[in-house]
């Protein structure tokens, strides 16, 4: 029998072996509690920052570093939950954003039907729309709309324009159309970390009009973490929670390789962001995603990809902790 300490050491060497997400088996979602998925999509962003489709491959490369115990939770998520890497969403018409969103939805309907809670790596932020079209009102959510814990520098509820450089279900529109469809309940959702100098002074108004609970970065700094965490728990408790984490909510010194970077106002450090994620500890988390990684702009040590993997690890642990013992 292999020495478990040696096996653990080898499994943490990201440059060794065949890369899957966190060294999980590459199989379908059936019979698993958590489905790890890649969504290599970047045509929903519409800008020249189009390399976000390379995000899943970059995180697979380094994610073995995060196949760890959760020290704070005193948890081994890999034995507590049955976790699979279910692969990437196939998108044969990758330059057609609307077709890609439909393909994403179909892929996640199968995950939802299998009863596996998806934790995904993108991809630009339009992928959240495709995913939640499947999960909102689905089996995992018990037929209810999901409620977002949304960490981001931007609201992505840009109803002032009807498309983003040609993409309709774009990275800038999912927060609105999912609410229009009834897949998300804005009044039961939090948008936290909004920052940056706006292109128009009314850019944030649509979020308020839809009823989202918005905490700008300036408000977070004034109120403090404890007060915002208390609000998260009050708003989301008892609801089916979906976490969507845009890496641009982090300060560029923490995650430099992201699309739509906001350098003018300090973002979250990693401890602040993780504390906000832990606000939904013990809740019914139906899934989560990490988006907007730009591997072609990362540092040689892959720090932003490593940060993305670390955030995914927190989501995995949050879900695994709530599962019954097998």
Cis before 307? omega within 30: no
| 48 is a domain residue | yes
* Lowest-confidence pick of 26-40, 88-102, 307-321: 88-102
| 152 is a domain residue | yes
Two structure tokens written together for 115 = 């009863």
DSSP E strands: which ranges in 80-210?
Answer: 83-88, 117-122, 147-151, 190-194
Q: Which residue has the tokens 């045509």?
A: 43
The domain in which residue 284 lies consists of 4-321
What's the structural domain count of the chain? 1
- The answer to pTM > 0.85 is yes
- Digit-coded pLDDT (tens) for 94-117: 899 999 999 999 999 999 999 999
pLDDT cut 90: percent of the chain above it: 82
Two structure tokens written together for 205 = 């108004």
Calculate mean pLDDT across residues 138-142. Answer: 98
- Digit-coded pLDDT (tens) for 237-289: 999 999 999 999 999 999 999 988 999 999 999 999 999 999 999 999 999 99
- Digit-coded pLDDT (tens) for 292-307: 999 999 999 999 999 9
- Digit-coded pLDDT (tens) for 162-198: 767 667 786 678 999 999 999 999 999 999 999 998 8
| 122 is a domain residue | yes
pLDDT at 1 over 90: no
| 326 is a domain residue | no
Two structure tokens written together for 217 = 């970065």
What pLDDT does 179 receive? Answer: 96
Tell me the CATH number at 272.
3.40.800.10
**Cα 5 from Cα 90, distance rounded (Å):** 37
| 257 is a domain residue | yes
The tally of CA atoms less than 13 A away on the side-chain side of residue 87 is 9
């Amino acid at each position: 029998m292999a020495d478990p300490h040696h096996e653990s050491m080898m499994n943490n060497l990201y440059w060794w072996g065949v890369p899957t997400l966190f060294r999980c088996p590459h199989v379908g979602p059936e019979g698993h509690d958590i489905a790890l998925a890649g969504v290599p999509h970047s045509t929903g962003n519409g800008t020249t920052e189009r390399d976000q489709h390379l995000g899943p491959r970059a995180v697979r490369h380094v994610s073995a570093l995060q196949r760890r115990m959760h020290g704070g939770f005193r948890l081994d998520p890999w034995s507590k939950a049955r976790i699979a890497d279910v692969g990437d969403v196939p998108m044969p018409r990758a330059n057609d954003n609307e077709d890609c969103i439909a393909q994403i939805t179909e892929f996640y309907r199968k995950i939802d039907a299998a009863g596996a809670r998806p934790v995904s790596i993108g991809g630009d932020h339009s992928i959240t729309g495709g995913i939640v079209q499947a999960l909102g009102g689905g089996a995992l959510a018990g037929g209810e709309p999901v409620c977002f814990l949304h960490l981001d520098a931007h609201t992505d509820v840009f109803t002032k324009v009807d498309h983003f450089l040609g993409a309709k279900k774009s990275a800038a529109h999912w927060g609105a159309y999912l609410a229009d469809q009834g897949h998300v309940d804005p009044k039961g959702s939090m948008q936290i970390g909004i920052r940056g100098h706006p292109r128009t002074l009314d850019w944030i108004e649509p979020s308020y009009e839809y009823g989202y609970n918005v905490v700008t970065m300036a408000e977070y700094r004034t109120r403090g973490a404890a007060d915002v965490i208390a609000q998260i728990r009050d708003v989301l408790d008892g609801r089916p929670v979906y976490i969507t984490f845009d890496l641009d909510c982090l300060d560029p010194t923490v995650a430099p390789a992201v699309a739509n970077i906001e350098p003018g106002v300090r973002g979250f450090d990693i401890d602040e962001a993780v504390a906000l994620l832990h606000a939904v500890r013990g809740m019914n988390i139906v899934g989560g995603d990490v988006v907007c990684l730009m591997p072609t702009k990362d540092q040689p040590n892959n720090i932003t990809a490593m940060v993305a993997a670390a955030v995914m690890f927190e989501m995995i642990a949050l879900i695994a902790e709530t599962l019954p013992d097998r």
